[in-house]
Amino acid sequence: MKGIRWSIGDGKSVRFCWDRWLHGAEPLIHTAIGVVPEEQLNWTLDQFTTETVQWNWNVFMHLVPATVLMKVAAIMPSRVDTGPDVPYWGFSEDGRFTTRSAYRSLTLDEDISNRGLWKVIWHWSGPQRIRQFMWLAVKGALLTNWQRWHRHLADSPVCVLCGGVAESTLHALHDCPKASCMWTRIVPSENVLVFFNLPLEKWIWKNLTNAIGINREQWEVLFGVTIWQVWSQRNAFTFSNEQCNASRMLKNMERHVNSISATLWGARSIGGVGMGRENVWIRWTAPPVDWIKGLHLAWEMGFRRVLMEIDSQCAVKLVSSNAEAVGIHRNLLKAIKELLNRSWEVRVSHEYREANFVADYLATFAASGPGGLVHLADPLSGAIPWINMTF
């Protein structure tokens, strides 16, 4: 059943190749680039992990593309102590089944084919250039790095911003950390599960035809402007080496959206849908005396007063909630909460990404690294300029 997704527990019920457990929802067998050995076709997730609870990359890394490997790396492997695997409904915000979400899941493909996604795009209430851009995105005609490499216009298909995977259209507009950090700022936390769990065509369709927690017309405009800004900023970096600046992007988005809104609905501002301006002093701050920033290593090194700063408000909410997690990151959240419940004092808070460029650099580095936990005795050379800027 296409609406069923799996929250990973002990990994004994979910089939690695056939079930929908990855971000993006498509079974791995549909993306395989190599022949999966017959004896592995029905293996469950626990058979693809090692005794040390790590993915056994040597078994499958040659079978699926790099973009899929990165999605696997983002999910904590199955653990015996987390209980059985749990199915959840992939077409609702909270993972629970509703008649309304079931009806939408059944009619979504029909709506796209019968009514025509192109009609939805061409009736979008905004500049013609953004309509054309969205249509090119749906047709797979954007000159992403993968497309440029395929046409012998680039040396590599890898994303130049995160450096970890091939730059497909969906990666450029949706999955890349530089893009997803913008979306998490404007998508209501209760809708994040659905927002980041759709293929390209359905993603654009849903955002142009359904309100994502706010007034439909306002979200429709905001969505179109945001993907245009994400793409424009990406091109500015690729071809002019212009650094991505989230604050500047938000200001440009606010200006464009309010301009369109004024044309459509008079002088009414769209500031009330997450684009309202708030002056915040963003900078890295040293922890108080006897405190340290970090978590897993902090425990191993004997620190017992720790600050845990996260650049996603949605993640802060999930980590701080007492409710049982549902979704692809269930194991990861369970492991984090187990750490938090140890005999120590941990403060969890939201911090803007721009306030810690060192952590942002390390996250980008990790995307192209060997995977797993890496101990760095000395700072990376590429991080030193950001360290000097911080202090």
What is the pLDDT, as a whole number, of residue 266? 55
Q: Is 308 helix (H, G, I), strand (E, B) or coil?
A: strand
What is the pLDDT, as a whole number, of residue 273? 44
What is the pLDDT, as a whole number, of residue 281? 53
Question: Which band of pLDDT confidence, cut at 50, 70 and 90, is reported for residue 46?
Answer: very high
What is the pLDDT, as a whole number, of residue 268? 45
List, for residues 93-126, the tens digit of each pLDDT value. 667 778 877 776 666 555 555 457 888 888 888 8
Task: Please give the CATH topology (third level) of the domain spanning 292-390.
Answer: Nucleotidyltransferase; domain 5 (3.30.420)
What is the pLDDT, as a whole number, of residue 164? 67
Is the pLDDT confidence value at 260 over 80? no
List, for residues 286-344, the tens digit of each pLDDT value. 677 777 666 778 888 888 998 888 877 778 888 888 877 667 777 888 888 888 889 99
Gap between the Cα atoms of 91 and 75, Å rounded: 20
> What does the buried/exposed string (b/e) look like for 27-60 if buried means 16 or more CB atoms within 10 Å of the residue's CB?
ebeebeeeebeeeeeebbbbebbeeeeebebebb
- Residues of the chain with pLDDT > 70, as a percent, come to 79
Gap between the Cα atoms of 209 and 115, Å rounded: 12
Gap between the Cα atoms of 132 and 380, Å rounded: 42
Contacts of residue 65, Cβ cutoff 8 Å, sequence gap at least 6 = 31, 33, 166
How large is the average pLDDT for residues 18-24? 82
Question: Which band of pLDDT confidence, cut at 50, 70 and 90, is reported for residue 264?
Answer: low
What is the pLDDT, as a whole number, of residue 165? 75
Global pTM value: 0.53
CB 9 within 8 A of CB 86: yes
Task: Write the single-letter amino acid at 7.
Answer: S
Gap between the Cα atoms of 336 and 296, Å rounded: 9
What is the pLDDT, as a whole number, of residue 133? 92
Q: Is 360 helix (H, G, I), strand (E, B) or coil?
A: helix
Question: Which band of pLDDT confidence, cut at 50, 70 and 90, is reported for residue 42?
Answer: very high
- CA proximity to 346, closest of 317, 364, 319: 319
Task: Write the single-letter amino acid at 280.
Answer: V
| Residue whose token pair is 């390390």 | 362
What is the pLDDT, as a whole number, of residue 107? 61
List, for residues 122-161, the tens digit of each pLDDT value. 888 888 889 999 999 988 889 898 888 888 888 888 888 8
CB 93 within 8 A of CB 99: no
List, for residues 365-376, the tens digit of each pLDDT value. 776 665 666 777
Instruction: Report in angstroms the alpha-carbon separations of 186 from 205, 217, 266, 272, 323.
Output: 18, 15, 23, 11, 23
CB 347 within 8 A of CB 319: no
DSSP assignment of 207-252 equals HHHS-SSS-HHHHHHHHHHHHHHHHHHHHHHHHH-PPP-HHHHHHH
Is the pLDDT confidence value at 350 over 70? yes
Mean pLDDT, rounded, of the chain: 79
Gap between the Cα atoms of 153 and 220, Å rounded: 34
Bridge partner residues of 166 (DSSP): 158
Q: Where are the domains of the chain?
A: 4-89, 115-273, 292-390
Bridge partner residues of 284 (DSSP): none
What is the pLDDT, as a whole number, of residue 111? 53
Straight-line distance from the first to the last Cα atom of the chain, in angstroms, rounded to the nearest whole number: 54
Is the pLDDT confidence value at 248 over 90? no
